[in-house]
């Protein structure tokens, strides 16, 4: 989805969340520029996934605002935020294990399927199949669309997770460790894929630990440590920043 450059598609301000006495996310602020790939990195426990959960609304924040393409998401429930244009994957793949590949993608592209009167007796629209084939081709998922999610290997599940997030109409794609635990060949494929997506005008915010991946794919890097933003900037600059190195070594 092409967007004008240099526009901040996502703006996070003073986001906070404490669990018991632990400040998982502490007065965190950053922005994501449209048309770019922004990497969110940091040592374990820095609060990256929590930040994702706060932005997507799965966890209730203690304070702060989230604005997506001019729309204030702060008081919206999680599913409404998704409808507003957020699409994400999860660190631990969350697929619908009894559903087929096809159904995953149809679900992603269907609107109003949570409304009984609109879709309880309807049939699927014809264009869903075409869109599904396109997405599967793009991500390179080679299995028959009638395969159940539980029959897929881990790598294939990761691909489906990404495909589903892609197929869902969105303004921002949020990927939580998309290449964690997958083999190098697949990892390279993901790298290429992300660059292809960027070329198509996608805006991507990705959490990753693989620095190699980050260096080759990201335009901007945001470093989090102990719930706060430690540094922001271009990959080479940030990754050689002393404070950042200390944060990683310190854990």
Partner 1 sequence: MEAYFIYFLTLAAIFAIGTMAYNVSAGYTGLFTLAQAGLLGVGAYTYALLTINLHWTFVTALAAALVVPAIANGILAYASKKIRGDAFAILTLWFGFVVVTLFLNWRGATRGALGLNGIPRPEFLDDTFLFLLFAVLLTALSYIVLRRIVSSPFGRALGAVRDDEVAAVALGKDVTRLRVTSAVVNGVFAGLAGALLAMFLGYINPTLFDITLLVQFIGYMVVGGLGSLEGSILGTVLLLAVREAIRFVPLDPELVGAIREIIFASILGLVILYRPRGLIGKVELE
**Which residues would be at the binding site for partner 1 (CB under 8 A)?**
56, 58, 78-80, 82-83, 86-88, 90, 94-99, 103, 106-108, 110-116, 118-124, 164, 168
Q: Contact at 8 Å (CB) between 208 and 52?
A: no
In angstroms, give the least distance from the CB of 63 to partner 1.
Answer: 22
- Compute the least distance from the CB of residue 206 to partner 1, in Å: 16
- Measured from the CB atom, the residue of 86 and 218 that comes closer to partner 1 is 86
- Taking CA atoms, 32 is separated from 12, 60, 90, 173, in Å, by 9, 21, 19, 11
Query: Phi first, then psi: what are they for 204, rounded to 5°?
Result: -130, 135
Residue number, 163 or 238, with CB nearest to partner 1: 163
Structure token pair of residue 179: 């290449």
> Phi and psi (nearest 5°) for 135?
-60, -45
What distance in Å separates the CA atoms of residue 145 and residue 140, rounded to the nearest whole number?
Answer: 12
Between CA 104 and CA 101 the distance in angstroms is 5
**14: helix, coil or strand?**
strand
**Nearest CB to partner 1, comparing residues 62 and 113:** 113
CB 203 within 8 A of CB 32: yes
Whichever of 141 and 160 has its CB closer to partner 1, that residue is 160
Q: Is 167 or 239 the residue whose CB approaches partner 1 more closely? A: 167
Q: What is the distance between the alpha carbons of residues 165 and 89, in angstroms, rounded to a whole number?
A: 6
Both tokens assigned to 226: 């102990």
Shortest reach from residue 99's CB to partner 1, in Å: 5
Q: Which lies closer to partner 1 via its Cβ, residue 1 or residue 107? A: 107
What DSSP character marks residue 74? T
Report, in Å, the least distance between residue 84 CB and partner 1. Answer: 9
Q: How far is the CB of 87 from partner 1 (least distance, A)?
A: 7
Write down how long the chain is.
251
Toward partner 1, which CB reaches closer, 166 or 247? 166
């Amino acid at each position: 989805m092409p967007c004008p450059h240099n526009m901040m598609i996502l703006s996070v301000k003073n986001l906070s969340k404490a669990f018991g006495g632990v400040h998982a996310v502490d007065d965190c602020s950053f922005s994501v520029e449209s048309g770019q790939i922004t990497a969110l990195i940091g040592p374990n426990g820095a609060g990256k996934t929590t930040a994702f959960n706060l932005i997507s609304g799965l966890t209730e924040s203690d304070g702060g605002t989230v604005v997506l393409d001019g729309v204030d998401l702060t008081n919206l429930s999680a599913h409404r935020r998704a409808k507003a244009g957020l699409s994400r994957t999860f660190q631990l793949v969350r697929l619908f294990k009894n559903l087929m590949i096809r159904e995953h993608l149809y679900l992603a592209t269907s609107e109003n399927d949570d409304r009984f009167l609109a879709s309880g007796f309807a049939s699927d629209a014809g264009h869903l199949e075409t869109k599904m084939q396109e997405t599967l081709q793009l991500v390179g998922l080679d299995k028959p669309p009638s395969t159940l999610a539980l029959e897929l290997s881990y790598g294939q599940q990761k691909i489906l997770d990404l495909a589903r997030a892609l197929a869902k109409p969105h303004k921002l794609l949020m990927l939580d460790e998309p290449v964690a635990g997958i083999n190098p060949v697949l990892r390279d494929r993901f790298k290429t894929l992300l660059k292809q997506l960027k070329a198509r005008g996608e805006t991507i915010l990705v959490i990753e630990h693989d620095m190699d991946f980050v260096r080759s794919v990201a335009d901007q890097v945001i470093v989090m440590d102990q719930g706060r933003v430690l540094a922001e900037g271009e990959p080479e600059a940030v990754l050689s920043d002393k404070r950042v190195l200390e944060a990683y070594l310190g854990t």
